[in-house]
Chains A and B, each alone.
Chain A
């Protein structure tokens, strides 16, 4: 495929490829490849959400009911508290003496380690952020039933396959980003 002179830095290509899957290839002159990657990543992500429901997007830093878990200094040391309501979340945040902070900022490795599939999902770019924000809103309980999430998470095969699809969508985009960065970093004469 004909290649025009590249004016994009590898860092810009990586960022733009994350922002819109396939954009990196498009900017490097490989437009058909870019379109195929974009459509594939979007379709796989949507299939994952279709199979597992929106709650397969389960971002670290938010609990089962869509509130921010806090790290609180307990009798035996720091412990995680998952708020069951907006009121409890606000009260926990105000308890400045015992509250060490949001679980994602206080214990990021443990929090992300509890949801390792989110590492793959995050590479789908803003689609991940948007769908995770919707999932968090859907997790919050309704006034009629304050102890249960409005949309419960799926389980067993539905959850497994939905998570697998969404994580692989992100990993496919990561593969495309790495390839674009590698090609953008090569001198123009060496590019295929």
Chain B
């Protein structure tokens, strides 16, 4: 793709320039999932930042553990 012709919101973001970009893009998604989920579940809105941050860490930690387990399984199967 010609980067000079790139139009935001029309053309896809050129995330293929590095293999490390796409896993990092899961972080903002996890952050918003944690934020909305805790917004709904939180009893007191004052506690929201802390609860959302904790939930974000759980999501990212869970994904990292799942990725590690799958990588081990793939290595074992090879």
Q: Chain A interface (Cβ within 8 Å of chain B)?
A: 1, 32-33, 36-37, 40-41, 43-44, 46-47, 49-54, 138, 151, 154, 156-159, 161-162, 164-165, 168, 172, 175-176, 179, 192
Beyond A32-B45, A33-B40, 16 additional contacts (C-beta under 8 Å) are: A37-B40, A40-B35, A47-B28, A47-B29, A51-B12, A51-B25, A52-B12, A53-B11, A53-B12, A161-B22, A161-B26, A165-B29, A172-B36, A175-B36, A175-B37, A192-B43
Q: Which residues of B contact A (CB under 8 A)?
A: 8-13, 15-16, 22, 25-26, 28-29, 32-33, 35-37, 39-40, 43, 45, 48
Q: Which residues of A contact B48 (CB under 8 A)?
A: 36
CA distance A50 to B10 in the complex (A): 7
- Give how many A-B residue pairs fall within 8 Å (CB-CB): 76
B contact patch SS: helix
Q: Are B8 and A50 in contact (CB under 8 A)?
A: yes
Task: Tell me if A168 and B29 are in contact (CB < 8 A).
Answer: yes
Within the complex, what minimum Cβ distance (angstroms) separates A70 from chain B? 28
Q: Which of B9, B32, B43 contacts A50 (CB 8 A)?
A: B9
